[in-house]
């Protein structure tokens, strides 16, 4: 199976979790590529954090640096995203909206600070992609350390 792991990581926490997904997919014999989303908007430091929270509060998307990955050529897409203010991070929302016609099979890895399983975030991703996810993994990450990880259908 040809798998694409897509992630957005503002501080590097989600990137580490995405790396673990890549390794797990390779261990079961899948061909795996990855796509790290980068924004044209400032997301670093205090001003970057303010910018991120303002975008997600208004439901806005963030402009992404161009990428050449042909998302439609993958059998499965694993989407690793942080949660901002209880919602999909704006850069990932931009990606999902842009690629919704190119993704037929999706799994989500949802990384969040607060306690909870983030099923509402998974449901909103399903709605954007107009599909039912294969599964999602809820990862509570507190200051870079995984506190709790659970799989859901």
Residue 32 tokens read as 């795996």
Give the pLDDT of residue 39: 92
Fold classified for 2-152: Rossmann fold (3.40.50)
Q: What percent of the chain has pLDDT over 90?
A: 69
The pLDDT-based confidence of 62 (bands split at 50, 70, 90) is: confident
Residue 146: pLDDT over 80:
yes
Burial class (CB in 10 A: 0-12, 13-18, 19+), 106: buried
Residue 153: pLDDT over 80:
no
Lowest mean pLDDT among 5-9, 51-55, 77-81, 97-101: 51-55
Angstrom distance (rounded) from CA 94 to CA 118: 19
Q: Where are the domains of the chain?
A: 2-152
Q: What is the pLDDT of residues 31-60, one digit of tens each?
A: 999 999 999 887 888 888 888 888 888 887
Count of helices and strands (H, E) across the chain: 4, 7
pTM summary value: 0.92
Give the pLDDT of residue 31: 96
Q: How many CB atoms lie within 10 A of CB 52?
A: 23
Cβ contact 13:82 at 8 Å: yes
Q: What is the pLDDT of residues 96-139, one digit of tens each?
A: 999 999 999 999 999 999 888 899 999 999 999 999 999 999 99
Output the CA angle 117-121-124, nearest 5 degrees: 145
Look at residue 54 and give its three-state secondary structure: helix
């Amino acid at each position: 199976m040809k798998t694409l792991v897509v992630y957005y990581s503002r501080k590097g926490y989600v990137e580490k979790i995405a790396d673990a997904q890549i390794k797990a997919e390779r261990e079961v014999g899948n061909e795996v590529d990855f796509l790290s989303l980068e924004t044209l908007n400032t997301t670093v430091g205090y001003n970057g954090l303010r910018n991120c929270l303002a975008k997600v509060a208004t439901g806005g998307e963030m402009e992404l640096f161009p990428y050449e990955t042909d998302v439609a050529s993958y059998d499965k897409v694993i989407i690793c995203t942080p949660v901002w203010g209880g919602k999909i991070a704006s850069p990932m929302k931009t990606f999902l909206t842009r690629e919704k016609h190119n993704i037929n099979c999706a799994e989500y890895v949802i990384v969040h600070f607060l306690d909870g399983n983030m099923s509402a975030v998974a449901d909103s991703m399903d709605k954007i992609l107009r599909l039912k996810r294969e599964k999602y993994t809820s990862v509570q990450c507190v200051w870079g350390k995984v506190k709790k990880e659970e799989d859901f259908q």
